[in-house]
Structure 1
């Protein structure tokens, strides 16, 4: 891969800037598979929420969708548009931060 392309994808922008969470993000796993699985444990895709505990989630791999609070039925990435905002909301919902044990009701819904 060309160095300039690699540097572009290693940099942050308006939406991906870590802000006050830069040190916290450095503590997350370096292994891309492990990091990806950890990130996926923090969120629910809106289609999964709509489909509930059927289809791809019939084994509840993404959590029990009946536990997600009805009053939060929104796509949080519509209002939490930056990485820092999403991270702040995840900490507000569960002060442990990014965790594999995040309860369904403490995840954020993203597209």
Structure 2
């Protein structure tokens, strides 16, 4: 199993979640987050914004579904030609998962 963490623009998160659900990935956790990327924030005139609001989407999937999931996120979250601030995707291994109500393991 893999955990896919996608940090996307807030205005894109609804579309990403809809596309993932339509593709068979309905279980998503969404969190409001703040941060900055390699460009170290945004400067508008004399003001620098170094904590940019983003949404973080968390999806646990089977290893063989990772490529499809990542492609959907990239396709849906990208703005125009792809610009700074479109987001980032991180993939990490999940050792195990359990359903609290039943105690069952797995997805």
TM-score over 0.5 (shorter chain): no
Q: TM-score w.r.t. structure 2 length?
A: 0.28
Query: Which structure has the highest strand share of the two?
Result: 2
Q: TM-score w.r.t. structure 1 length?
A: 0.27
